[in-house]
A and B are shown apart, each in its own frame.
Chain A
Amino acid sequence: MFGIRPTPEGEKLLQLGVGVALFLAVVGGLLIVVDRGPDLVAWIGRKLRGGKDPVRRKPAREFWGAMAFLLPAGLLLTVGLLVPMGRTTVLSLRDRFDDEWVGLENYIWMFTQGDILIVLRNTLIWVIVAPFLVTAIGLIYAVLVDRAKFEWFAKSLIFMPMAISFVGASIIWKFVYEVRPEGSDQIGLLNQVVVWLGGTPRNWLVMRTGALNTLLLIVILVWIYVGFAMVVLSAAIKAIPMDIIEAARMDGTNAWQMFWKVTLPSIRPAVIVVVVTVSIATLKLFDIVRTMTGGNFGTSVIANEMYTQALGSAQQPGRGSALAVVLFLFVLPIALYQIRELRRRREEVR
């Protein structure tokens, strides 16, 4: 334009401007539609019916108004999620070129392949160990911090990893697990501690025995999510009515009994929220495995394997889709439970 070539940076900022302008235009247009749309529809209706005021058409008018409000979100959710979900399910039953139906071949492949069975096993380890550790540590910390001073400061430090990306956290921990040959100075904290304790340094991330490397990857997720668990549980603990605690104290309950008989039952809903949230996050987990090991050394999980098969080097969209469907089936019971809870709550509100 005008013979001026913008710098690459300038061009990117221009893109950003275009994106924001697009947003303003779309929202502005939408506001006009929801503002004037119903009147317009009513006006057209009136003309068509020869000037009679459409009193009885109120619900229909509300319906079309609502559709205008729901249009962008509904359209995007349909195009971006609903239709693709159906397509993925179909693809999982077809060959890698999407030419022929192959029945359950992709699923059979999954459950007969040694590597993939390890992937499934790892996913199970993750989803059992990670939510348990996160909830347990978060709960202990929430109880402790409730009686401590400098509460805000301690909480902030624990909570900080939540702001860091999984990729950033992975690099932090890759550095902790880094190894140098025996005899030379260690630069990774874990191996240095091992050496201080008189052990020999190891390359932890390749140690498959007992799925040790997978457990070390789980440590990263726990490190990130304990802050989340702690904040949610701590808020729940603070919401326990004072008189319940006072009454229990009058009865001479000690701290241990207090925790099991008063605190835990009172915050049960919050505990469930934490377990459910962390379970879903764990099942979908991709970044940590990708960045730490790329899924090598027997550490892959379904979410990572799905990427490798369908979008990465393997070029097997059928198999990748089958893995995605299996992941979905893992999440489904949790989703159904959540929906049941939601409906129950909505009934209560009425």
Chain B
Amino acid sequence: MTSAKPAAPAAPATKKSRPKPAPATTMAGRVRQRLSTRLATVVTIVIAVVWTIPTIGLLLSSVRPREAINRTGWWTFFSDPELTFANYQDVLVNGRLGSYFLNSLVITIPSVLFSVGFAAFAAYALSWMNFRGRDWIFIGIFALQIVPLQMALIPLLRFFNLGVTIGPITIALPWSEWGVSPATAGFTRLWFAHTCFGLALATYLIHNFMSELPKDLMEAAKVDGAGHGKIFRRIALPLVIPALASIAIFQFLWIWNDLLVALTFSGGTEQSAPITQRLSEMAGSRGGEWQRLTAGAFVSMVIPLIVFISLQRYFVRGLLAGSVKG
């Protein structure tokens, strides 16, 4: 989706900053510089806080009692603090949101494994094997990551529901005839769809990291008689593990946060629908029940926020390497 040249982005993550402007030589210059730093600091912090206010509002509301949320603004919390976890209990037990949360995990983990795993294989071939048409395949995969999913949804759904027949010959049966439970069918459809839709971007990104590996290393291994299978397993894969982690984190968040693919393929029931789908429904049908919506929204954000806070370095690197998927 982007032409950001990766590999380099391993460098400036958020933490380490370049040395601040060199010291000014004159007294006036020094004063001006200090003022500009101070002003910039104040402005950036103020904007950052303003940026966070909507989230804070939701977080505070989720721990206020039901009547309070619907009667007064969340900012009155500070003058009249009342704390309760009843909303979370309500949404998890009565709203059965925990069940959807589990669905999200069941959907996301295998989808990430499959897309990143298969992409690593393809990326290796595109980086280090010589064969005819390699450049065209690479450009094709690059182009596919930009294609909107909307182009694939209807036929893919029909493929699952009706199977594939060309004339009288049945190539694939509809999934209902495979005798699997609705939940299994829902999960499998989602794994399949997410893997297909995530592959192109993942292949492109992993290729960018893999092709930067030193050529001498590969040549030396080849001289020692290692085949491509061995080079891939022993050399290429271990060396790009940090990059794989970044890409996997991104894929994880993208699939966890997805709504469109879920709406199309999950079947929409508690058996296999992810938490985002449930929340989106609640926002539509129970728009007024803020005690459930606020708590529910936070339940859905817990994992992404933990990932974000604990793995921010990888997260930023993944972002710089290839930006996001939409």
Majority DSSP secondary structure for residues of A touching B: helix
Given that A231-B319, A231-B320 are contacting pairs, would A306 and B150 also be in contact in the complex, using a CB cutoff of 8 Å? Answer: yes
With most chain B CB atoms within 10 A of its CB, the pick from A19, A73, A161, A172 is: A73
Instruction: Give every chain B residue within 8 A of A186 (Cβ-Cβ).
Output: 73
Q: A335 contacts which chain B residues (CB < 8 A)?
A: 143, 146-147
What total count of A-B pairs have CB within 8 Å? 415
Cα A317 to Cα B193 with chains together (Å) = 19
Q: Which of A48-56, A112-120, A162-170, A207-215 contacts B (4 or more CB under 8 A)?
A: A162-170
Give chain A residues whose Cβ lies under 8 Å from the Cβ of B301: 163-165, 168
Contact in complex: A238, B12 (CB < 8 Å) = yes
Q: Once the chains are docked, how many angstroms separate the CA of A157 from the CA of B125?
A: 40
C-alpha gap A6/B82 in the complex (Å)? 40
Contact residue among A19, A235, A280 (Cβ-Cβ distance under 8 Å from B12) = A235
Which of B36, B276, B323: most chain A CB closer than 10 A? Answer: B323
- When C-beta atoms are compared, the residue in chain B nearest to A88 turns out to be B151
CB pair A235 B131 closer than 8 Å: no
The yes or no answer to A244 lying at the interface (CB within 8 A) is no
B279 touches A168 (CB 8 A): yes
Which residues of B have CB within 8 Å of A285? 326
Query: If A73-B121, A176-B57 touch, does A31 touch B305 (CB 8 Å cutoff)?
Result: no
Q: How far is the CA of A167 from the CA of B297 in the complex (A)?
A: 8
Say yes or no: A165 contacts B256, CB within 8 Å: yes
Contacts A30-B121, A70-B122: A163 and B253 contacting too (C-beta < 8 A)?
yes
Within 8 Å of chain B (Cβ to Cβ): is A20?
yes
Identify which of A76, A147, A150 contacts B45 (C-beta below 8 A). Answer: A150
Q: Which of B162-181 contact A (CB under 8 A)?
A: none
- Select B229's contact among A34, A162, A291, A342, beta carbons within 8 Å: A34
CB-defined contacts of B228 to chain A, threshold 8 Å? 34, 38, 62, 65, 69
What separation, in Å, do the CA atoms of A9 and B271 have in the docked complex? 10
- B40-A31 in contact (CB<8A): no
Q: Which of the four size classes fits the interface of chain B?
A: 35 or more
> Mask for A305-340, Cβ within 8 A of B = 1, else 0?
011001100000100110111011001001100110
A145 part of interface (Cβ distance < 8 Å): yes
Task: List, in ascending order, chain B residues with CB within 8 A of A161's CB.
Answer: 51, 55
Decide if A163 touches B106 in the complex (CB within 8 Å): no
A194 touches B (CB below 8 Å): no
A171's contact among B11, B195, B297, by CB below 8 Å, is which?
B297
Whether A331 contacts B131 by the Cβ 8 Å rule is no
Q: Does A158 contact B (CB under 8 A)?
A: yes
How many Å lie between the Cα of A165 and that of B320 in the bound state? 19
> Which residues of B approach A to under 8 Å, CB–CB?
1-5, 8-9, 11-15, 17-18, 20-22, 36-37, 40-41, 43-45, 47-49, 51-55, 57-58, 61, 69-75, 99, 102-103, 105-106, 109-110, 113-114, 117-119, 121-122, 124-126, 129-132, 134-135, 137, 139, 141-144, 146-159, 183-184, 187, 191-193, 195-197, 199-200, 203, 227-230, 232-233, 253, 256-260, 263-264, 271, 276, 279-280, 283-284, 287, 290, 293-294, 296-297, 300-301, 304-305, 307-308, 312, 315-316, 319-320, 323-324, 326
Q: Give 25 pairs: A residue, B residue, CB < 8 Å, sorted on A.
A: A9-B102, A15-B187, A16-B105, A19-B106, A20-B110, A77-B196, A84-B156, A87-B158, A88-B155, A145-B44, A147-B36, A150-B45, A153-B48, A154-B45, A160-B55, A162-B319, A163-B301, A164-B301, A165-B257, A176-B54, A192-B75, A242-B18, A284-B149, A307-B263, A343-B139
Beyond contacts A35-B229, A80-B195, A88-B154: 19 other A-B pairs, Cβ-Cβ < 8 A, are: A30-B121, A35-B230, A37-B229, A66-B129, A74-B122, A74-B137, A84-B156, A85-B151, A88-B152, A91-B155, A150-B45, A162-B324, A163-B301, A187-B73, A232-B323, A284-B149, A307-B264, A327-B150, A338-B3
